[in-house]
Amino acid sequence: MKNYRAYSLILPLALSLAAPQAIAATVDETQGLSITVQEVAELSLYQGPSGTHFDIGATAPQAGDTPSAIVTGAMDARLHYTSVVPAGTTRSISVSLDGDLQPGMRLMLSIPMIIGEGQVGNSQFSAPTELTASPKVAINSIGSAVTGTGANAGAQLAYSLSYDATELTATDSPIDVTVLYTLSAAE
């Protein structure tokens, strides 16, 4: 009987030591994470090194002709933007003119191309459009997008000036106006 008792004590002890190892190999731990994506609306203007300047020529190409405009930097400007919107919503960029031009002058803007990634929107100014004090939508349907930065990214801004030479008045100083771009809230 003594031998039987020795085996009966050793066997349960061996089983109790082996059991925790089998359970420990199947235990998993989890951690919950929460991610929030905020709306983003950023807009900046890249202006080339020369700026945009219109200089209406001091002389006509020929006596009796309309004076010509010499334009500097009219296509160097780029509009850069970043937009993150809720699902199913879009933004737009409107443009307006602040300041007074001479009678007979019209400042025109076209946006011939937009370079970027995502839903960068659609130009409403593919043809030259007159800028006025009343805001006009220039780019619509902007979703979540980035245009990039620098001279070869974003929405190309091409300015032009039309004028009636019979209404021009010579000036000693430039006629300064401001073009205002506004990135709207998500709609």
Q: Is residue 176 part of a domain?
A: yes
Q: How many domains does the chain have?
A: 1
pLDDT at 166 over 70: yes
Owning domain of residue 92: 40-183
Q: Is residue 8 part of a domain?
A: no
The pairing of strands 40-46 and 77-84 is antiparallel
Q: According to the model, what pLDDT value does residue 165 have?
A: 81
What is the mean predicted confidence (pLDDT) over 113-122? 96
By the 8 A CB rule, do 119 and 144 touch? Answer: yes
Neighbours of 126 (CB within 10 A): 11
Q: According to the model, what pLDDT value does residue 49 have?
A: 66
Q: According to the model, what pLDDT value does residue 111 have?
A: 95
Q: Which of 38-42, 135-139, 168-172 bottoms out in mean pLDDT, i.e. has the lowest? A: 168-172
Q: Is residue 31 part of a domain?
A: no
How would you write the chain as a 3-class SS string? Answer: CHHHHHHHHHHHHHHHHHHHHHHHCCCCCCCCCCCCCCCEEEEEEECCCCCCEEEECCCCCCCCCCCCEEEECCCCEEEEEEEECCCCCCEEEEEEEECCCCCCEEEEEECCCEECEECCCEECCCCCEECCCCCEEEEEEECCEECCCCCCCEEEEEEEEEECHHHCCCCCCCCCCEEEEEECCCC
Residue type, 164: D
Neighbours of 51 (CB within 10 A): 10
Q: According to the model, what pLDDT value does residue 22 have?
A: 53
By the 8 A CB rule, do 107 and 161 touch? Answer: yes
Q: Is residue 96 part of a domain?
A: yes
pLDDT digits (tens, 9 = 90+) for 32-82: 999 999 999 999 998 876 667 776 665 566 777 777 776 666 667 899 999
Q: Is residue 159 part of a domain?
A: yes
pLDDT at 122 over 90: yes
Mean pLDDT of the chain: 83
Q: Is residue 10 part of a domain?
A: no
Neighbours of 100 (CB within 10 A): 11
pLDDT at 23 over 70: no
Give the integer Cα–Cα distance in Å for 87 and 177. 38
Q: Is residue 25 part of a domain?
A: no
Contacts with 152 (C-beta within 8 Å, 6 or more apart), sequence order:
115
- Report which of residues 174 and 30 the model is more confident about: 30
- Report which of residues 132 and 159 the model is more confident about: 132
Q: Is residue 126 part of a domain?
A: yes
